[in-house]
Amino acid sequence: MGAAMNPPSMSEAKPSVNRRKGRLQLLLILLGVIGPMILATGMYKLNFWVPEGRSYHGELIGNGKTRADIGVQAQDDRWQMLVTAPKECAVDCQQLVYLARQVQIGLSRDASRASHALAVAQPLSADYDAKLQREYPQLQRYPLDLTTFSRTTGDQSVPQLWIIDPHGNLVLRYDPSVKGKDLLNDLRHLLKLSNIG
């Protein structure tokens, strides 16, 4: 009679069970680490599960565009409130410039983390230019490339105020109807969340 087949002993079965448990644990750890990154990337790229509610007041610019994409060549390693004037800097533009300065003052102890600037496509009137030199000594001024600006924004008439991060990325955009309190709250929130600038 042939030898009877003996079932595997307990000591032989235990390593394969432990090996399966180990693989399952490794898979769960990898899923816990890589899963959220894949989900976040998918949410950003495919724009799904994005919350409808928002806590900001301007138009969010989440497309990776920079200051250079709106026709302004500048460097600033702080958060910046940039007013762009594709036409002359008239009443609406001047109001935005005033608002940007007041918001920077309103930041109090965080004021050094932000700057305010003006980019114009046309020369300023002599009176307004003199006023800026006298009353806005910290205002940075840049030329605005109208071709690049209109290609990116599609608008050549309305002045706008942009919040730009220290890397030069466009974050939020506001039209002339923005309220100072809303702008201040948005910028304070960004500074609170940011470790840069």
Query: Is pLDDT at 8 greater than 60 in this prediction?
Result: no
Mean pLDDT, the chain, rounded, equals 87
CB 104 within 8 A of CB 111: yes
Q: How confident is the model at residue 20 (pLDDT cuts 50, 70, 90)?
A: confident
**E strand or H helix that includes residue 85:** strand 79-85
Residue 174's Cβ-count burial label (10 Å; 0-12, 13-18, 19+) is buried
The model's pLDDT over 152-180, given as tens digits with 9 standing for 90+, comes to 887 668 999 999 999 999 999 999 999 99
- State the average pLDDT over residues 171-197: 91
Query: Is pLDDT at 43 greater than 90 in this prediction?
Result: no
Vertex 173: Cα angle to 93 and 153 (nearest 5): 85
What SS3 state is found at 170? strand
